[in-house]
Amino acid sequence: MVVPSGTILEVWTGTTTAGAHSGDTCNGWTDGSATPTADVGLTSETGSGWTAKYLQFCDRTNLRLYCFEQ
């Protein structure tokens, strides 16, 4: 996905600022009602906020998902 310059999008990550699994993932991204929140990053961030800026409610349907592989 190409994000236009100046656009800020929330992105589901489920990770800490160190890149470790946080456990806050809306039940493995399968259930918006299982846990109340999940970790979100912002596409506009260049520091640790790109992966873990804050927690967002799991019932949001307009966020993208960053997938990480170890």
How far apart CA 28 and CA 20 sit, in angstroms, is 14
* Domain with 18 in it: 10-65
Asked, for residue 25, whether it belongs to a domain, the answer is yes
Please indicate, yes or no, if residue 60 is contained in any of the structural domains. yes
**17 domain residue, yes or no:** yes
Contact status, residue 27 vs residue 35, Cβ threshold 8 Å = yes
In a domain, 23, yes or no: yes
pLDDT digits (tens, 9 = 90+) for 1-42: 566 667 788 999 999 988 888 988 888 877 666 668 899 999
Q: How far is the C-alpha of 12 from the C-alpha of 26, rounded, in Å?
A: 10
The reported pLDDT for the residue numbered 3 is: 62
Domain membership of residue 70 (yes or no) is no
In a domain, 2, yes or no: no
Give the per-residue pLDDT at 52: 92
Residue 55 has pLDDT above 90, yes or no: yes
| Nearest to 42, CA basis, from 1, 12, 5, 4 | 12
